[in-house]
């Protein structure tokens, strides 16, 4: 049985990985003590391992013992969201770049076979027409995106010092169970939360922004393929290859809408070229509008 260490296990992706893998793999979870995001999301899904509370920004000696006999590290832990990164960029850089580098170095020392780094589609920025390919130039437009792109480079440079294989994944806009519905939630969660409270939806900017929305279960399908077939230096987009506008999502939930200025540094369109994953057998199955329509019906029934 593979032994897998998941960082950021109390976050959105981490919780879904636990749901999917708790009976299939030997899991170890690392996360901070309860903070803003975990407090808003409630308690972690029940599983047979405790969460090891460790701050990856500290000296790696505090958590290195957890890497003993680990086969794969899934590094999800990060500071996320654009707005806060403009004023708290130092912590974004420390958390997303320095901490990732330290963790990878520790994984190399302990003989971890594979290290999968969760980057972000935001590294592509606004400068690319059509679907983004893994080989496209990175043009981040905000400090958060800069921190993810720089971490990719830092880890790639570190690979020359050891035998741990590094695989980078660039997930596009993920949604699904365990989404954060609090202050820093993404559009889908915000719209559902506002509708449940019978409030008008708040749309950033024109609503014409288009995103490649990928359900977290499809993202996990992709990740399982990558664990099996990914090799050192590989980079994979995780998405659907299709886009939907924010306006279309809002209209699916409610016609009561308010517009506010768009976020500084937000991109207009994200779309994944998923050819690399498709060649390995990946096929996304869930369409965001269908999923959201079903959730809205559930809300109506509940009300």
Same domain, 161 and 48: yes
Same domain, 137 and 196: no
* Chain position carrying tokens 């901490």: 99
State pLDDT tens for residues 214-264. Answer: 999 999 999 999 999 999 999 999 999 999 999 999 999 999 999 999 888
280, part of any domain: no
Same domain, 132 and 184: no
288: Cβ contacts below 8 Å, ≥ 6 apart: 175, 188, 213, 215, 244, 249
Same domain, 15 and 28: yes
pTM above 0.75? yes
Same domain, 154 and 296: no
Same domain, 125 and 156: yes
279, part of any domain: no
State pLDDT tens for residues 161-204. Answer: 999 999 999 999 999 999 988 766 789 999 999 999 999 999 98
Give the torsion through C-alpha atoms of 201, 206, 208, 210, to 10 deg. Answer: -70
Q: What's the domain count of the chain?
A: 2
Same domain, 43 and 100: yes
Q: Cβ of 166: how many Cβ atoms within 10 Å?
A: 25
Q: Does residue 38 have a pLDDT over 50?
A: no
Residue 181 Cα to chain centre, angstroms? 15
**Collapsed DSSP state (helix, strand, coil) of residue 48:** coil
Interaxial angle between packed helices 143-158 and 99-109, expressed in degrees from 0 to 180 and rounded to the nearest 10: 20
State pLDDT tens for residues 45-74. Answer: 444 455 788 888 887 888 899 999 999 999
Same domain, 232 and 115: yes
Bridge partners (DSSP) of residue 31 are 53
Same domain, 124 and 266: no
146, part of any domain: yes
Same domain, 160 and 253: no
Helix spans in the chain (H)? 12-21, 36-41, 89-93, 99-109, 143-158, 187-196, 216-229, 246-253, 275-278, 288-302
Same domain, 232 and 297: no
- Asked if residue 189 lies in contact with residue 249, where contact means CB atoms within 8 angstroms, the answer is no
Element (H, E) at 73: strand 72-75
Same domain, 80 and 162: yes
């Amino acid at each position: 049985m593979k032994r897998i260490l998941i960082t950021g296990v109390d976050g959105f992706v981490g919780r879904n990985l636990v749901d999917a893998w708790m009976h299939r793999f030997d899991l170890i979870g690392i996360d901070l003590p309860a903070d803003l995001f975990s407090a808003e999301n409630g308690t972690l899904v029940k599983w047979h391992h405790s969460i090891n509370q460790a701050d990856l920004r500290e000296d790696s000696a505090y958590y290195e013992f957890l890497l003993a006999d680990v086969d794969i590290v899934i590094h999800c832990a990060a500071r996320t969201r654009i707005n806060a990164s403009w004023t708290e960029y130092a912590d974004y850089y420390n958390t997303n770049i320095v901490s990732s580098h330290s963790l990878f170095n520790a994984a190399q020392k302990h003989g971890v076979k594979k290290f999968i780094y969760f980057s972000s589609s935001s590294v592509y920025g606004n400068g690319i027409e059509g679907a983004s390919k893994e080989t496209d130039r990175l043009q981040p437009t905000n400090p958060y995106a800069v921190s993810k792109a720089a971490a990719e480079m830092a880890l790639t440079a570190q690979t020359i010092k050891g035998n741990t294989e590094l695989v980078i994944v660039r997930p596009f806009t993920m949604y699904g169970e365990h989404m954060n519905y609090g202050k820093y939630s993404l559009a889908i969660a915000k719209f559902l939360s506002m509708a449940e409270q019978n409030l008008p939806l708040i749309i950033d900017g024109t609503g014409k922004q288009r995103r490649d929305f990928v359900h977290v279960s499809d993202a996990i399908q992709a990740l399982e393929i990558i664990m099996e077939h990914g090799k050192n230096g590989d980079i994979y987009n995780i998405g659907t290859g299709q886009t939907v506008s924010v306006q279309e999502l809002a209209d699916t939930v409610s016609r009561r809408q308010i517009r506010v200025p768009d976020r500084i540094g937000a991109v207009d369109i994200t779309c994944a070229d998923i050819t690399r994953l498709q060649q390995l057998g990946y096929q996304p199955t869930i369409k965001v509008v269908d999923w959201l329509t079903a959730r809205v019906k559930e809300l109506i029934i509940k009300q």
